[in-house]
């Protein structure tokens, strides 16, 4: 029966569709963002890492909620404060037929941080660690100081065959060196047009259900939706929020949604005595009000998050009170989204010495996050309600990020208040704490994206303690405490909402939504 159905489906699709879709078990995916290379170590960015996950495996995998699960390593544990041991899986084969062992791990560690011309390398996960091969199936990693994030860092490293240790990015893009141990194997890549994968029958894990996967990059949102409606692709990611309602009602489609690790928040200038885009209402210069925690708290209370989520985001977001949604490692049980309280906000402003408010211009990108410009406009109106006369300027991301990070004459951030987003690549709270709230410090590599230059010795101390705590429970508690200080007490940033991502598939398929926003063919299942 199944065979007959497949035969009919095959015949029908052969008649109607392109030969690419002729096989019954082909999955065609319309992608919003195309990877820049097949080389798994070339560009450490979401579309590339998502693709690499199909072809390659890692010692430790991250599941759909970014929890760590065994991959090419079957177990890992710290054997003392400075050493971790990984036991490797036996009997795994690369798609070129060679066996997987410790040499391949060493080769990957050697190659990953040193790919020429890499626009964003994996060095940040590998530096400070000394990898050692103990025997063919045991690896030890040493660090100078206790390093609890070892497993998370290792879970980002794609394992290549040791034969490919000197391969160039071109060798991977052409398929010459592209041998992996992942669920799919590489067939061809025509940049801008299609990327074809085939099932890897020797995959050690759960057998993938698709014989063949074709990724088609369709960057334009409306075109991507149209391609799905037309049946040219079976599945798309990055469904535009404006289409979600309509697609939900379409009986031929099925939507999958999941909260992501990305928070949309506001950075506030906390390092200048006079902030360039803030003045008194008459235009005269005033001391930067954002230095006062009461003003920052007032801004947070002024935001009606429920309304913003309902109207601007069409319900596709979750109001935020901290850096990561509930359920992630290291989130604080004490922090809830600030309730809308304009009267309380006005009182705080008055107490801080601004009973009549002030004038402020806020900035944000208009093509980076879902509805970014609209969110900022809504928030600005809410600020105006409590007496802070707020105007908005949004710009394309390529211009915005330069100015927001280093646009001022002394290479410091240019704006007074910006809307930005942060996805926690590690899936736990240390990533945003380190990058967004920790004191900006080049030498220590802290606060690299701290565009408000919030700085608190108290939080820094707790965070430093957390980053050295190997015991998971202790670290989780310390990260939560650091968040309590950074956001609860000091309002270093103002969280707005957690982004919810939407994927759409034709009826009969569903997607296991991932919090890291990646699109995996492995996650597209039949129901």
Partner 1 sequence: MSVFIIRRLLQSVVVVAVMSLIVFIGVNIVGNPVDMLINPDADQAEIARVIRDLGLDRPVHEQYMFFVKNALQGDLGKSFVFGESALKLIIQRIPATFELAMVALLMAVIIGVPLGVIAGMRPTAISSRIIMTGSILGFSLPTFWVGLMMIMIFAVTLGWLPSTGRGDTVSVLGIEVSFLTVDGLRHMLMPALNLALLKISLVIRLARAGTREAMHQDYVKFARAKGLSETRVIMVHVLKNIMIPVVTVLGLEFGSLIAFSVVTESVFAWPGMGKLLIDAIHNLDRPIIVAYLMIIVLVFVVINLLVDILYSVLDPRVRLKDAGQ
Q: Which single residue is written with the structure tokens 């998971």?
A: 472
DSSP character string of 62-109: E-TT--EEESSEEEEEEEETTEEEEEEPSS-B-TTSPBP-HHHHHHHH
How many CB atoms are closer than 10 A to CB 170? 12
* Residue among 26, 27, 40, 44 that touches partner 1 (CB under 8 A): 44
Encoded one letter per residue, x for contact with partner 1 by CB under 8 A and - for no contact, window 329-348 reads: --------------------
**Window 227 to 286, contacts with partner 1 (CB under 8 A):** 227, 229-232
The answer to whether residue 402 forms part of the interface with partner 1 (CB under 8 A) is yes
Which lies closer to partner 1 via its Cβ, residue 382 or residue 446? 446
Stretch that binds partner 1, among 66-74, 84-92, 399-407, 508-516 (CB under 8 A): 399-407
The answer to whether residue 14 forms part of the interface with partner 1 (CB under 8 A) is no
Which lies closer to partner 1 via its Cβ, residue 209 or residue 395? 395
Q: What is the sign, positive or negative, of the torsion defined by CA atoms of 439, 440, 446, 448? A: positive
Q: Which single residue is written with the structure tokens 């957690």?
A: 498
* Residue among 332, 390, 405, 515 that touches partner 1 (CB under 8 A): 405
Distance CA 504, CA 507 (A): 9
Which residues on adjacent β-strands are paired with residue 73? 88
Closest CA to 36 of 108, 102, 117, 106: 117
- Count of residues in contact with partner 1, rule CB under 8 A: 62
* Residue among 74, 75, 202, 220 that touches partner 1 (CB under 8 A): 220
Which lies closer to partner 1 via its Cβ, residue 108 or residue 121? 121
Which lies closer to partner 1 via its Cβ, residue 63 or residue 367? 367
In the complex, minimum distance from the CB of residue 74 to partner 1, in angstroms, rounded to a whole number? 27
In the complex, minimum distance from the CB of residue 443 to partner 1, in angstroms, rounded to a whole number? 8
Which residues on adjacent β-strands are paired with residue 503? 256
Which residues on adjacent β-strands are paired with residue 422? 263
Closest CA to 501 of 480, 525, 520: 520
Which lies closer to partner 1 via its Cβ, residue 99 or residue 193? 193
The answer to whether residue 449 forms part of the interface with partner 1 (CB under 8 A) is yes
* Residue among 129, 194, 248, 510 that touches partner 1 (CB under 8 A): 194
Q: What helix, strand, coil percent values describe the chain, rounded to 5?
A: 35, 25, 40
DSSP letter assigned to residue 120 = B
Q: Decide if 296 contacts 288 (C-beta within 8 A).
A: no
The answer to whether residue 476 forms part of the interface with partner 1 (CB under 8 A) is no
Distance CA 448, CA 451 (A): 8
**Rg of the chain on CA atoms, in Å:** 25
In the complex, minimum distance from the CB of residue 112 to partner 1, in angstroms, rounded to a whole number? 13
Contact residues for partner 1, defined by CB under 8 A = 16-20, 30, 36-37, 42-45, 116-121, 123-124, 169-170, 173, 190-194, 216-220, 222-224, 226-227, 229-232, 367, 396-399, 401-402, 405-406, 422-423, 425-426, 431, 435, 442, 445-446, 448-449
């Amino acid at each position: 029966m199944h065979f007959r159905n497949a035969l009919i489906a095959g015949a029908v699709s052969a008649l109607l569709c392109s030969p690419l879709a002729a096989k019954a078990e082909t999955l065609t995916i319309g992608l919003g963002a195309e990877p820049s290379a097949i080389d798994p170590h070339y560009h450490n960015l979401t579309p590339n890492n998502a693709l690499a996950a199909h072809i390659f495996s890692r010692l430790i995998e991250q599941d759909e909620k970014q929890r760590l699960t065994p991959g090419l390593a079957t177990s890992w544990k710290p054997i003392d404060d400075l050493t971790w041991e990984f036991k490797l899986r036996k009997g795994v084969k690369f798609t070129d037929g060679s066996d997987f062992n410790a040499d391949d791990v060493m080769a990957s560690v050697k190659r990953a941080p040193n790919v020429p011309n890499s626009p964003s390398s994996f060095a940040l996960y590998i530096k400070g660690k000394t990898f050692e091969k103990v025997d063919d199936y045991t690896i030890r990693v040493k660090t100078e100081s206790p390093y609890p994030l070892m497993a998370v860092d290792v879970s980002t490293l794609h394992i290549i065959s040791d034969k490919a240790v000197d391969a160039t990015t071109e060798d991977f893009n052409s398929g010459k060196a592209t041998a992996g141990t992942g669920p799919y194997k590489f067939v061809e890549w025509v940049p801008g047009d299609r990327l074809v994968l085939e099932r890897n029958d020797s995959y050690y894990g759960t057998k993938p259900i698709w014989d063949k996967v074709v990724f088609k990059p369709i960057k334009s949102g409306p075109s991507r939706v149209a391609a799905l409606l037309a049946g040219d692709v079976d599945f798309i990611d990055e469904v535009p929020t404006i289409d979600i309602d309509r697609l939900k009602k379409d009986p031929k489609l099925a939507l999958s949604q999941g909260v992501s690790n990305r928070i949309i928040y506001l950075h506030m200038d906390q390092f200048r005595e006079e902030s360039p885009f803030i003045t008194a209402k008459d235009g005269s210069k005033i001391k930067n009000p954002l230095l006062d925690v009461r003003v920052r708290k007032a801004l947070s209370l002024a935001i009606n998050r429920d309304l913003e989520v309902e109207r601007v985001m069409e319900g596709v977001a979750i109001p935020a009170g901290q850096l990561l949604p509930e359920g992630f490692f290291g989130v604080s049980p004490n922090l809830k989204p600030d309730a809308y309280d304009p009267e309380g906000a006005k009182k705080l402003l008055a107490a801080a010495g601004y009973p009549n408010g002030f004038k402020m211009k806020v900035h944000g990108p208009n093509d980076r996050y879902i509805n970014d410009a609209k969110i900022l406009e809504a928030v600005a109106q809410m600020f105006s309600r409590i007496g802070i006369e707020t105007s908005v300027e949004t710009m394309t991301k390529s211009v915005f990020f330069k100015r927001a990070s280093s646009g001022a004459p002394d290479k410091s951030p240019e704006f007074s208040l910006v809307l930005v987003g942060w996805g926690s690549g590690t899936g736990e709270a240390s990533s945003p704490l380190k990058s967004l709230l920790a004191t900006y410090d080049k030498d220590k590599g802290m606060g690299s994206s701290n565009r408000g230059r919030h700085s608190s010795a108290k939080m820094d101390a707790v965070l430093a303690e957390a980053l050295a705590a190997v015991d998971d429970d202790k670290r989780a508690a310390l990260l939560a405490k650091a968040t309590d200080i950074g956001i609860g007490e000091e309002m270093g940033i103002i969280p707005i909402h957690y982004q919810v991502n939407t994927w759409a598939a034709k009826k009969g398929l569903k997607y296991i939504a991932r919090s890291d926003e990646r699109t995996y063919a492995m996650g597209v299942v039949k129901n």
